[in-house]
Chain A
Amino acid sequence: MESMNIISGRMLKRRVSRVLMHGLILMFLVYLLFPLIWMISTSFKPTPEIYSGIPTLIPEVFTIEHYLTVLEEERLLVSILNSLYVGIVTAIIVVLISLPAAYALTRYRTSVNKLVMGWILTSQIFPAILIMIPLFIILRSLHLTDSLSGLVLVYVVWDIPFVLWMLQGYVKEIPVELEEAAAIDGATQGQIIFKIIMPLLLPAVGAAVLFAFISAWNEFFFALVLLKSPDLTTLPVELARYTGIEGQARTGPLAAASFIATIPSIVLFAILRKWFSSGALQGAVKG
């Protein structure tokens, strides 16, 4: 054994530190995932087991009764569809109008830039309470309260600062030479933006779409204030209703509905997983 040299000692050390690092990451993941796992587990437990006083991570008796209860309620289904609609439309509009703007901000250097970038930063400072009431008054005069289009409009405006800031950082990385070549070939500005810049920025555009969708899917208070008709509510508003009078006694159905509300986000993250980890962007820029 003594003949084992320093090199294998170092390899051992490296292996130990690698195991330690995996261990640390797993501790983080337990913290970050446990509440979700507990919620999923609760959603599949029959009501007596929920109240049994014994913490079981895997339900002893497996039931989908809570999901059936939830799906029998038409309002919840409608609210899921409303949320999907609002999220998708918001995401598409935000990216379609922010990409040209991001391009304009990086490629043209005029006095407008400081104004726009200044606004992006300052807009983050203001609490929603300052905007809520005047916004309601303005939207009412446009007949856009209690309408999904009105809500989409609000979310688009709400998401622009972050998406714009994110995209312009990426546009900056793209060498101008690529566009020059296209411009010489007679490409219009729109073609340059959507045919050259956008494909190169696919990971960033994907991340922006994801961000816009999720922030619309998740948003609660504007929806609560702006939407009044029961058939127009979004999922978060509908969920909040569960916590009201009936909430306390309905732990199971609430867990089931909460899990349903989380599924689209998880699916989207899984789809975009490659984009997050891929070096596609760096390759395109450096190569």
Chain B
Amino acid sequence: MANSVTLTRTPRNRNLDQLQLLLPIMVPVLLLSFIPLIRGIYIGFTDYELGGQINFSGLDNYRIMMQDRFFWRSMGVGFLWTAIVTALQIGLGMILALLLNQGLRWTSLYSVLMLVPWAMPPIVRGLMWRQIYSPDTGALNLILTQMGIIDNPINWLASFEWALPAIIVAGVWGEVPKAALFFLAGLKTIPGSLYEAAELDGASAFRKFRHITLPMMKPIMAAVVSLSFMWNFNAFGLIWILTQGGPGGLTRLPMLAAYEEAFRYGYVGYAAAIGNVMVIIISVFLFFYLKVQLKERTG
């Protein structure tokens, strides 16, 4: 796309102009994001322990990992958590966005209220849900006992049955607003004339959703699913506050495993190696997911 603002400048100048505008972001990103990251990846191939020497150790970390059943367990939990939270947040976020796009009264008030969880500091989200789930003063136990559904308070976050569902409910809660916001923005870009034409043909609400909304929303869906998968797989703060990975490692997501290896046991090299494996897993998922998405769009 040639544009005439830039036509007045020579190509050499254009490159310089662009670089000049990009420099203020490139320098900090290079120094504080790119270089540390490369070093971090490298540390994953060393036996670095907190306070010790950094020695290259090749694939040793990864050999240990193959035998490490705590690692495998945390990967399993990580996948389960990521799949369920991502699916729920996409589904619920879409429903909420559709509801807010109906031109109902009070929609703008609803939209602001819906964003509240997203606005809260993750640490407060964790503290809040801890209060909900608390065995002695928590709202959930109080309400359920009052209604006669349970006889004795349940220690949700320490229970083998309930800990995972409990953190999933809290996780989805924090992510639905974000998904709904993205979807709502996407819905607003669909031209109303498409729906008007379909209405003239007597299309039902479901058919309109299936044949107009969904195809038009595909690029945004792809973006939200990709980002959510990454964010959820890398989740840390909320779960750290709620369960610290317990009970018995049941909610120990990969990031919690890596954090513990580094900061509790001091195995920084091994922690970075776990980080590297997570990057590979996410990349593989994204590769296949986006490949399918792109194929459908061109086909």
* Bound together: yes
Interface residues of A (CB under 8 A from B): 18, 21-22, 24-25, 28-29, 31-36, 38-39, 42, 50-51, 53-55, 97-98, 100-101, 103-105, 107-110, 112, 116, 119, 123-135, 137-139, 153-154, 156-158, 160, 164, 176, 179-180, 183, 189, 192, 214, 217-218, 220-221, 235-236, 239-240, 243, 251, 254-255, 258, 261-262, 265-266, 268-270, 273, 276-277, 282
Excluding A25-B100, A129-B275, A133-B268, 18 further A-B contacts by CB distance (< 8 Å) are A28-B99, A28-B176, A35-B173, A38-B128, A42-B131, A53-B142, A110-B15, A116-B22, A126-B37, A133-B272, A189-B17, A243-B127, A243-B241, A261-B123, A265-B119, A265-B121, A276-B112, A277-B108
On whether the beta carbons of B32 and A119 are closer than 8 Å, the reply is no
Chain A residues with Cβ below 8 Å from B298 are none
- 16 CB contacts below 8 A, A to B, read A24-B99, A28-B114, A32-B114, A35-B131, A36-B120, A51-B137, A116-B26, A123-B37, A125-B286, A127-B275, A131-B40, A180-B5, A183-B5, A218-B123, A243-B130, A262-B124
Report the separation of the CA atoms of residues A142 and B271 in the bound assembly, to the nearest whole angstrom: 25
Chain B residues with Cβ below 8 Å from A107 are 3, 5-6
On whether the beta carbons of B5 and A153 are closer than 8 Å, the reply is no
Q: How many A-B Cβ pairs are below 8 Å?
A: 255
Residue of A nearest to B180 (CB): A28
Contact of A130 among B128, B236, B272 (CB under 8 A): B272
On whether the beta carbons of B96 and A269 are closer than 8 Å, the reply is no
Q: Is the interface of B mostly helix, strand, loop or mixed?
A: helix
Residue of A nearest to B142 (CB): A55
Report the separation of the CA atoms of residues A183 and B241 in the bound assembly, to the nearest whole angstrom: 54
Report the separation of the CA atoms of residues A236 and B173 in the bound assembly, to the nearest whole angstrom: 20
Contact of B40 among A130, A189, A269, A282 (CB under 8 A): A130
On whether the beta carbons of B136 and A108 are closer than 8 Å, the reply is no
Residue of B nearest to A136 (CB): B36
On whether the beta carbons of B121 and A217 are closer than 8 Å, the reply is yes
Chain B residues with Cβ below 8 Å from A236 are 121-124
Chain B residues with Cβ below 8 Å from A255 are 131
On whether the beta carbons of A109 and B1 are closer than 8 Å, the reply is yes
Among B60-68, B154-162, B195-203, B255-263, the stretch that binds chain A is B255-263
Chain B residues with Cβ below 8 Å from A221 are 236-237
Chain A residues with Cβ below 8 Å from B110 are 25, 29
Among B79-87, B207-215, B276-284, the stretch that binds chain A is B276-284
Interface residues of B (CB under 8 A from A): 1, 3-6, 8, 14-15, 17-19, 21-22, 24-26, 28-29, 31-37, 39-41, 43-44, 92, 95-96, 99-100, 102, 104, 106-108, 110-117, 119-125, 127-132, 134, 136-137, 139, 142-143, 145-146, 173, 176-177, 188, 227, 230, 234, 236-237, 241, 254-255, 258-259, 262, 268, 271-272, 274-276, 278-279, 282-283, 286
Contact of B282 among A39, A103, A125, A183 (CB under 8 A): A125
On whether the beta carbons of A38 and B132 are closer than 8 Å, the reply is yes
Chain B residues with Cβ below 8 Å from A104 are 17-18, 21-22
Report the separation of the CA atoms of residues A124 and B100 in the bound assembly, to the nearest whole angstrom: 29
Residue of A nearest to B105 (CB): A22
Known interface pairs A39-B128, A265-B120; A134-B33 also in contact (CB < 8 Å): no
Chain B residues with Cβ below 8 Å from A128 are 234, 236, 255
Known interface pairs A126-B279, A129-B259, A160-B29; A269-B119 also in contact (CB < 8 Å): yes
On whether the beta carbons of B5 and A179 are closer than 8 Å, the reply is yes
Chain B residues with Cβ below 8 Å from A270 are 112
Contact of A239 among B127, B139, B145 (CB under 8 A): B127
Report the separation of the CA atoms of residues A250 and B139 in the bound assembly, to the nearest whole angstrom: 16
Chain B residues with Cβ below 8 Å from A38 are 128, 131-132, 139
- Most chain A CB within a 10 A radius of its CB, from B5, B41, B92, B271: B5
Chain A residues with Cβ below 8 Å from B34 are 119
Chain A residues with Cβ below 8 Å from B237 are 220-221
On whether the beta carbons of B31 and A138 are closer than 8 Å, the reply is yes
Report the separation of the CA atoms of residues A233 and B26 in the bound assembly, to the nearest whole angstrom: 28
On whether the beta carbons of A35 and B236 are closer than 8 Å, the reply is no
Report the separation of the CA atoms of residues A277 and B111 in the bound assembly, to the nearest whole angstrom: 8
Residue of B nearest to A182 (CB): B5
Chain B residues with Cβ below 8 Å from A39 are 124, 127-128, 131
On whether the beta carbons of A129 and B272 are closer than 8 Å, the reply is yes
User: Distance (Å) between the CB of B50 and the closest chain A CB?
Assistant: 9
Known interface pairs A129-B272, A134-B36; A119-B14 also in contact (CB < 8 Å): no
Chain B residues with Cβ below 8 Å from A235 are 121
User: Distance (Å) between the CB of A10 and the closest chain B CB?
Assistant: 13
Residue of B nearest to A279 (CB): B188
On whether the beta carbons of B104 and A22 are closer than 8 Å, the reply is yes
On whether the beta carbons of B24 and A97 are closer than 8 Å, the reply is yes
On whether the beta carbons of A176 and B4 are closer than 8 Å, the reply is yes
Chain B residues with Cβ below 8 Å from A214 are 119
On whether the beta carbons of A134 and B121 are closer than 8 Å, the reply is no
User: Distance (Å) between the CB of A56 and the closest chain B CB?
Assistant: 9
